[in-house]
Amino acid sequence: MNTRNLAIFIAVLLGACLIGCAPTYPGGLSKQEWDSLPPDRRAQLQLQQDHLDEQRRENAERDSDRNQAVQQQQPPPSPPAYVQVQAPDRNDLTGWTFLGRREVNFRADHDVFQVGKSYGLIRAVKFAVRGGDMELYNVVIVFGDGEKIAPEVRGHYEQNTASIGIGFPGEKRYIDRIEFTYRSSPYNDRKTSFLLFMK
């Protein structure tokens, strides 16, 4: 851009700024237009502007009150579907009761552990991997009343490791079944076992 074009560009920007930043008067008039009006017309426009300003304030207050009422009517947030059972060593299975075992093959497989009320009320579950590595894709826990949760425990699990403990907030619950989708790691040369535990 040459010097002449740059000067024209700056002049246009300054002009736009002056127009956009110039103070306005009732009715959107400029100072020059406002000063040219007779006093009675100014008074009339000022009354109209005051009325509009008052309506805007009332509308803003009404919207604020409505938003507060909506927020107060909203139900409290639901408790989390599950919590992590913290332990110094997640691979330590001390205090956990064995529920069942499955052998994992090299293709993605959907498996179901039937639990039922015979195991009583349960407050947490976890699983462990033995023999080889495993890829876990999905876990769904189905409670006795039909409610389902899907804990975020998917990932790659090495042999002789365990998941986090998956705890249920509040009282212990009956578990109808636990569904898993998993497969043995393609790099395994050993048979992989999947073990389920409860508390």
pLDDT tens for residues 142-156? 999 999 999 888 888
What letter does residue 173 receive in the DSSP assignment?
B
How far apart, in whole angstroms, are the C-alpha atoms of residue 138 and residue 110? 9
User: What distance lies between CA 183 and its chain's CA centroid?
Assistant: 29
Q: What is the mean pLDDT of the chain?
A: 79
pTM: 0.57
Q: Which two tokens stand for residue 147?
A: 């409610």
Domains along the chain? 3-73 (no CATH), 83-198 (2.60.120)
Q: Assess contact for 128 and 197: CB atoms under 8 A.
A: yes
Task: Give, in degrees to the nearest 5, the angle at Cα 114 between 166 and 197.
Answer: 35
Decide which of 38 and 74 is more confident: 38
Q: How far apart are the first and last CA of the chain?
A: 76
Residue 12, pLDDT score: 47
Nearest of 139, 131, 142 to residue 104 by alpha carbon: 131
